């Protein structure tokens, strides 16, 4: 739930600071860059196999599983697009910090408190992900 709150915070706090001029050029690296970025995002979707593993718990897996997989992939895709658009609208793509993109973007836009909130959300999300991975992998 904290992850969703952090994503909502980034969208609500970041979009008002948007500068549409940052979208020019729209495809700075052309189609090759778009496909390279798409391949990176594809690997971020790894983890939806946990839904498939939960099939034995579903009451009607032949109906419930496709709905849950397509639904979760759809929601994740929409959130990726919204978050990506927000950060590029906040700072030019060449100025995006690869180590702490949203935190640095908020700091660059003069929002140090928002930067700290986003940093806390990222840290909490990583801790939660690590804990879930440990629980799932550990027999």
3: left (phi over 0), alpha (psi -120 to 50) or beta: alpha
**What mean pLDDT, rounded, does the chain reach?**
84
Number of domains the chain contains: 1
Residue 130's pLDDT is 64
pLDDT in tens, 6-63: 899 999 999 999 999 999 888 888 999 989 888 877 766 666 667 667 777 788 888 8
Q: Are 102 and 10 in contact (CB under 8 A)?
A: yes
Q: What is the pTM of this model?
A: 0.77
Band of the pLDDT at 105, cuts 50, 70, 90? very high
Query: What does the pLDDT average to over 63-77?
Result: 84
Q: Where in the sequence is the domain holding 101, given as residue range(s)?
A: 2-137
């Amino acid at each position: 739930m904290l992850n969703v709150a952090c994503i909502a915070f980034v969208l609500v706090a970041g979009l008002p600071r948007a500068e549409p001029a940052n979208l020019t050029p729209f495809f700075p690296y052309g189609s090759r860059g778009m496909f390279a970025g798409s391949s990176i995002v594809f690997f971020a979707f790894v983890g939806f196999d946990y839904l498939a593993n939960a099939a034995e718990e579903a009451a009607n897996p032949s109906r419930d599983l496709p709905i849950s997989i397509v639904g979760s992939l759809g929601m994740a895709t929409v959130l990726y697009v919204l978050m990506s658009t927000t950060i590029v609208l906040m700072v030019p793509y060449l100025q995006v910090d690869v180590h702490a993109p949203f935190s640095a973007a908020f700091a660059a836009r003069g929002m140090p408190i928002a930067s700290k909130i986003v940093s806390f959300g990222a840290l909490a999300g990583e801790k939660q992900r690590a804990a879930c991975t440990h629980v799932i992998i550990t027999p």
